[in-house]
Amino acid sequence: MPRITKITTRRGDDGFTDLAGGERIRKDSKRIHAIGALDELNSALGVARAQKPQPATDRRLREIQNDLLCIGAMLSRKSLKARTTDAPGFDVHSPEVLEQESAELQRRLGPLENFLLPGGTPIASSLQFARAVCRRAERELVALSRSETIDPLPRLYLNRLSDLLFQYARLENRAAGFPEQFWNSR
């Protein structure tokens, strides 16, 4: 486990930051945008967890937060040899697991009649917000992959995660007795 001895280093004052291997890159690079979007997603999940979701959901969200830190650690290494399999604690089967979880929740919750308006209870709203941040993080990874070779598994993970967060929002609304609010397409 990494040990952080000092928070303020002043190494970023010049607009550059260090990657895990020591290489310095600009803070506005696509790689740092992707890492930053993962950090925002992780923080959004922290806000959702602070609103006390159902215990099983909370446990799963904590596991997902750990996965996101593993993906961020992987992205902080620019070496082409830095693959998902090298990321500490990241299971290469995670995207498949997320997809199975989402499908199981879909079976439990039933099919949708129309698009849903994000919202409902505070926890469901937070999960919908986290889903939107997740989609942005995925777009940042796509942008990075257009200019650098990166492992595709983090992108797949985020794509499946956004679906799962949508299902968790539905689940939390259902548990609170809040009816789904459908888009009025007129």
Query: Alpha helix locations (H) across 76-152?
Result: 94-109, 122-147
**Is 144 part of any domain?**
yes
Rounded to an integer, the average pLDDT of 121-149 is 96
**Is 36 part of any domain?**
yes
**Is 103 part of any domain?**
no
**Is 53 part of any domain?**
yes
Rounded to an integer, the average pLDDT of 117-127 is 94
Q: How many domains does the chain have?
A: 1
Rounded to an integer, the average pLDDT of 148-169 is 95
**Is 12 part of any domain?**
no
For residue 134, the domain's CATH number is 1.20.1200.10
Q: What backbone phi and psi angles, to 5 degrees, belong to 149?
A: -85, 120
With beta carbons less than 8 A apart as the criterion, state whether 32 and 25 touch.
yes
Q: What is the pTM of this model?
A: 0.86
Higher per-residue pLDDT: 137 or 113:
137
**Is 184 part of any domain?**
no
Q: Domain range holding 129?
A: 27-97+118-175
Q: Assess whether pLDDT exceeds 90 at residue 39.
A: yes
Residue with tokens 């399999």: 85
Percent of the chain exceeding pLDDT 70 equals 83
pLDDT at 66: 95
Written as six digits, the tokens of 109 are 């919750």
The dihedral region occupied by 4, where left means phi > 0, alpha psi between -120 and 50, and beta the remainder, is beta
